[in-house]
Amino acid sequence: MKIPVIVLRNLVVLPKMFIHFDLEREPSKQAAEYAAKNQGRIFMVIQEMEGEEYPQSEYGISKYGTIGTIKQLIKLPGGIIRVLAEGGERGFIHSMYKTEDHMEGEVERLGVYPFDGDENRAEGYLRALKEAAAEYAKVNPQAETTVKQLLAVSDLKVFAEIASTRLPLGVSYAKEYLKQDGVSGQAASLLSFLAKETETVKYRNEIQEQVKERLDKNQKEYVMREQMRAIRSELGEDEQSEAEVFLKQTDELEASDEIKEKIKKEIGRFSSIPSGTQEGTVSRNYIETLLELPWEKKSEDSDDIVSARAILERDHYGMEKIKERILEFLAVRHFTGEAGGSILCLVGPPGTGKTSIAKSVASALNKKYVRISLGGVHDEAEIRGHRRTYVGALPGRIATALKQAGVCNPLMLLDEIDKTGSDYKGDISSALLEVLDGEQNVRFSDHYVEIPIDLSHVLFIATANTVETIPRPLLDRMEIIEVTGYTENEKFHIAKDYLVPKQLVKNGMTAERVSFEEEALKKLIHGYTRESGVRNLERRIGQIIRKAAMEILEKDRAFVTITEEKVLEYLGKEIIRTNPANEENQIGIVRGLAWTSVGGDTLEIEVNVMPGDGQLQLTGQLGDVMQESAKAGFTYIRSIAEKYGVKDGFFKENDIHLHIPEGAVPKDGPSAGITMAVAMLSAVTGKKVLSDLAMTGEITLRGRILPIGGLKEKLLAAKIAGIHKVIVPGKNRPDVDELSPEITEGITVCFADSMEDVLCLCFEEKK
């Protein structure tokens, strides 16, 4: 028969059952309203596929349902319809489809089948069901009334009808019950339900009893503690509770009234929690964290610029720009009385003293110093803290550092800010924006602390190896100060005045026992270390001192003087081999200058020409940018070839191969553009390039030369290689003017704005 269909979620209507349910979905409401207007007949079936919004066919619903009658239909606010329905016969739906105004289905009436067995089998089922019902009533007193009615029944069919409508079968058992074709199947389903429900209720009762015993024990402990407190009070013994101690510490805390009020509110919650519970431990840890934070506790900073300058000069050699910027900060703060201002970010290669300069600044300003390492951190909770609802929640690194410092105005070093990451747990750089933005960090939000923290008094200094990996919004909040690599002369002074005394103390030696000759230090710097910083140099000095200490003990000597020969004896042959300038002018070989993470270096670019079909071949592990520079240079050379007497068709009949030695080392960047162009033109024209020449600059298709970076490191590399003439872009003239005479001494720096300027400087003049 055709009949309106209501699809229910998590509800099974059984025969002989009176039930209320609410309808929210439009198709079900339309079917109910249609049925109410037409004799009230309706087919009620449960939805099988939970993820589907509303099944549009017989797929996604149970095949078995109940044909019932709608007795009452009430419209409630919010578009909800409340239905009172009576279950009638069982039904099997063959198909379901949507009519103009409601869902309808082709439903087969199944009815209630008679018992499919003999009388003895029926009596056996009935007795088994009554025994199971009696056991169920013992563990569940709420079902006693229903079970009494069932025990008075003498017909199995009637027992099944009453039990299915009065007992809480649940969705799974109700669906199974509805699928049975005979009374024996229904009886078996009821037996299974009663057995499982009896065991479940038993376990529930046991758990409730255990919880009750635990609560009774806690209540007993609470009463006993109150009695103990009253006895102590009568005896005159003054032993304060934890809550009272916390309240006393709150009154003594250097914080605003608002913060104190919030802490006292949390202490009030803590005092009402029974001791020894997990909740009490969490609350205690939270209160202790709040009391340990330096809300308004400050250290007295130093305003003595003369003393600050002396400390900075004592601890570090060079770094004039950084020292000057720190002293500027100190002077401005003296007149404004505020700690705010730019956040400094020291950017430079490893080992150049970025972290140690921050310690010296803290010492110069008489500030507490705390360091936060951000390298590899990718969880936002590391900065903002965890929510207190999480197990093992902790405050973030910023709040922890403040607690460690003990004052609200420390110097906080954010180390390796360029090495932060982000994943599904959040973006570290976004969290740091609030920390480093002077407009936002007045009320920094830590998820664990929950009370806003004022970071405006903190002096932040960040360090990074490169600005390329720092997100732009974060970079915008900081003032970048470049910490460039050291010259060999600077390394010599650093080693002599700082590293040697430090390593002597570290290895238990004194200057009377181990001393270094100046030439030994220079050999050590030139032949055993190649880096922008001095970290590896310090390791080598420590290695020499340890070997000297061993020699003092083995050979019973009073002291050891480290000479050049001792350096060779202790460290073996030199490991740094400098590629010197060529002795003769050559065709197709040009020296370029490059910047690396450990300082400057020289690149010898070679070009050869051979018969072919006009191809340009590039080898030597060149990156994409470097390959594009080579192609741009090649295009420019072809455009001016006629001017240099290159025959027509030369580029169609010959191949050009450009190679940069040390092929296993990846190379990239645009600054070798003019070098590659000169090498190609030299190979094509047969003109020799000056051997005592190096160059750096980016080339365009029209032969313009663009500025480059890392000029200091590149000039140092040229100086080490024994090159006395360097070509640099004209737009880099201000960078050269800022360099110390120590770097440019002995080098003639030539400026070029176009390839025409370069070509006038690099070829050997014909005699």
What per-residue confidence (pLDDT) applies to 238?
47
Residue 761 backbone phi and psi in degrees, to 5: -105, -20
In a domain, 375, yes or no: yes
In the predicted structure, residue 476 carries a pLDDT above the cut 60: yes
What per-residue confidence (pLDDT) applies to 679?
94
CATH code of the domain containing 130: 1.20.58
Q: Could you tell me if 144 and 280 lie in one domain?
A: no
Q: Of 450, 482, 514, which residue constitutes the final position of a domain?
A: 482
Give dist(CA 38, CA 33) in Å, integer.
9
Summarize the confidence of residues 545-550 as an average pLDDT: 92
Tokens standing for 589? 């070989």
Lowest mean pLDDT across 60-69, 216-225, 543-552: 216-225
Residue 110 backbone phi and psi in degrees, to 5: -105, -30
Query: Which amino acid makes up residue 71?
Result: K
What per-residue confidence (pLDDT) applies to 594?
86
Give dist(CA 209, CA 217) in Å, integer.
12
Quote the domain boundaries for residue 536: 488-571
In the predicted structure, residue 116 carries a pLDDT above the cut 70: no
Max mean pLDDT among 143-152, 325-334, 672-681, 732-741 falls in 672-681
What per-residue confidence (pLDDT) applies to 656?
94
Summarize the confidence of residues 637-656 as an average pLDDT: 89
Q: Could you tell me if 437 and 348 lie in one domain?
A: yes
In a domain, 579, yes or no: no
Pick the closest to residue 347 from 672, 744, 669, 710 (CA basis): 710
Phi-psi region of 406 (alpha: psi -120 to 50; beta: other; left: phi over 0): left
Give dist(CA 70, CA 41) in Å, integer.
7
What per-residue confidence (pLDDT) applies to 648?
83
Q: Could you tell me if 103 and 146 lie in one domain?
A: no
Decide: 677 and 659 in contact? Cβ < 8 Å.
no
Annotated catalytic residue 740 = no
Decide: 156 and 133 in contact? Cβ < 8 Å.
no
Q: 173 versus 720: which is more confidently predicted? A: 720
Other C-beta atoms lying within 10 Å of the C-beta of residue 440: 15
Give dist(CA 243, CA 758) in Å, integer.
80
Give dist(CA 264, CA 260) in Å, integer.
6
Q: What are the DSSP E strand ranges found in 24-63?
A: 41-46
pLDDT interval class at 335 (50, 70, 90): confident
Q: Could you tell me if 162 and 263 lie in one domain?
A: no
Dihedral (CA of 451, 454, 455, 458) sign: negative
Exposure of 650 in the CB half-sphere (CA atoms within 13 A): 17
CATH code of the domain containing 745: 3.30.230.10
Q: Could you tell me if 195 and 249 lie in one domain?
A: no
Helix-then-strand count for the chain, H and E = 28, 26
Decide: 48 and 39 in contact? Cβ < 8 Å.
no
Give dist(CA 705, CA 27) in Å, integer.
74
What per-residue confidence (pLDDT) applies to 657?
94
What per-residue confidence (pLDDT) applies to 337?
65
CATH code of the domain containing 41: 2.30.130.40
Q: Of 89, 109, 129, which residue constitutes the final position of a domain?
A: 109
Pairing of strands 41-46, 369-373: unpaired
Q: Could you tell me if 311 and 381 lie in one domain?
A: yes
pLDDT interval class at 516 (50, 70, 90): very high
What per-residue confidence (pLDDT) applies to 393?
84
pLDDT interval class at 234 (50, 70, 90): low
Phi-psi region of 116 (alpha: psi -120 to 50; beta: other; left: phi over 0): beta
| Buried b or exposed e, range 109-119, using 16+ CB within 10 angstroms | ebebeebeeee
DSSP codes of every residue in 424-476: TTEEHHHHHHHHH-TTTGGGB--TTT-S-B--TT-EEEEEES-STTS-HHHHH
What per-residue confidence (pLDDT) applies to 628?
93
Q: Could you tell me if 593 and 541 lie in one domain?
A: no
Q: Which of 671, 687, 688, 719 is catalytic?
A: 671
Q: What are the DSSP E strand ranges found in 473-575?
A: 478-482, 514-516, 560-562
In a domain, 513, yes or no: yes
Q: Could you tell me if 333 and 434 lie in one domain?
A: yes
Give dist(CA 6, CA 346) in Å, integer.
70
3-state helix, strand, coil in the chain (%, to 5): 45, 20, 35
Lowest mean pLDDT across 62-66, 120-124, 731-735: 120-124
In the predicted structure, residue 425 carries a pLDDT above the cut 70: no
Residues in the chain: 767
Pairing of strands 459-464, 343-347: parallel
Q: 734 versus 531: which is more confidently predicted? A: 734
Give dist(CA 46, CA 203) in Å, integer.
30
In the predicted structure, residue 183 carries a pLDDT above the cut 80: no
Summarize the confidence of residues 577-604 as an average pLDDT: 80
What per-residue confidence (pLDDT) applies to 118?
65
Decide: 700 and 706 in contact? Cβ < 8 Å.
yes
In a domain, 213, yes or no: no
What SS3 state is found at 347?
strand
Tell me how far the alpha carbon of residue 393 is from its chain's centroid.
17
Total number of domains constituting the chain = 6
In the predicted structure, residue 288 carries a pLDDT above the cut 50: yes
Other C-beta atoms lying within 10 Å of the C-beta of residue 281: 12
Q: Could you tell me if 418 and 463 lie in one domain?
A: yes
Max mean pLDDT among 76-80, 136-140, 629-633 falls in 629-633
What per-residue confidence (pLDDT) applies to 229?
67
What per-residue confidence (pLDDT) applies to 239?
45
Tokens standing for 458? 């903190």
Q: Which residues contact 207 (CB under 8 A, 6 or more apart)?
A: none
| pTM of full prediction above 0.85 | no
Annotated catalytic residue 671 = yes
Q: What is the dihedral of CA 215, 216, 217, 219, to 10 degrees?
A: 90
Max mean pLDDT among 240-244, 299-303, 587-591 falls in 587-591
In a domain, 210, yes or no: no
In the predicted structure, residue 754 carries a pLDDT above the cut 90: yes
Give dist(CA 351, CA 463) in Å, integer.
12
Burial (CB < 10 A; 0-12, 13-18, 19+), residue 627, is: middle
In a domain, 279, yes or no: yes
CATH code of the domain containing 322: 3.40.50.300
What per-residue confidence (pLDDT) applies to 673?
92
Q: Which helix (H) or strand (E) holds 69?
A: strand 64-76
Lowest mean pLDDT across 233-247, 436-450, 514-528: 233-247
Give dist(CA 600, CA 594) in Å, integer.
6
In the predicted structure, residue 714 carries a pLDDT above the cut 90: no
What per-residue confidence (pLDDT) applies to 443?
85
Tokens standing for 375? 């390298």
What per-residue confidence (pLDDT) applies to 599?
66
What per-residue confidence (pLDDT) applies to 386?
86
Tell me how far the alpha carbon of residue 130 is from its chain's centroid.
63
Decide: 531 and 495 in contact? Cβ < 8 Å.
no
Q: Which of 687, 688, 714, 719 is catalytic?
A: 714
Q: Could you tell me if 336 and 247 lie in one domain?
A: no
Exposure of 654 in the CB half-sphere (CA atoms within 13 A): 17
Average pLDDT score over the chain: 83
Q: Could you tell me if 72 and 183 lie in one domain?
A: no
Give dist(CA 635, CA 633) in Å, integer.
5
Lowest mean pLDDT across 3-7, 235-239, 729-733: 235-239
In the predicted structure, residue 620 carries a pLDDT above the cut 50: yes
Dihedral (CA of 349, 350, 354, 360) sign: negative
Give dist(CA 720, CA 601) in Å, integer.
9
Give pLDDT tens digits for 263-282.
Answer: 988 888 888 777 667 788 88
Other C-beta atoms lying within 10 Å of the C-beta of residue 637: 26
What SS3 state is found at 340?
coil
Exposure of 73 in the CB half-sphere (CA atoms within 13 A): 20
In a domain, 724, yes or no: yes
Give pLDDT tens digits for 34-60.
Answer: 888 888 888 888 888 776 778 877 787
What per-residue confidence (pLDDT) applies to 767?
45
What per-residue confidence (pLDDT) applies to 338?
62
Summarize the confidence of residues 667-686 as an average pLDDT: 91
Give pLDDT tens digits for 77-99.
Answer: 888 888 888 888 888 888 888 88
Q: Could you tell me if 595 and 528 lie in one domain?
A: no
In a domain, 219, yes or no: no
pLDDT interval class at 240 (50, 70, 90): low
Q: What percent of the chain has pLDDT over 90?
A: 20
Give dist(CA 143, CA 130) in Å, integer.
13
CATH code of the domain containing 506: 1.10.8.60
Tokens standing for 269? 């919650």
Decide: 396 and 381 in contact? Cβ < 8 Å.
yes
Q: Of 183, 204, 225, which residue constitutes the final position of a domain?
A: 204
Phi-psi region of 142 (alpha: psi -120 to 50; beta: other; left: phi over 0): alpha
Residue 360 backbone phi and psi in degrees, to 5: -65, -35
Q: Which helix (H) or strand (E) holds 678?
A: helix 673-685
Query: Which amino acid makes up residue 739?
Result: L
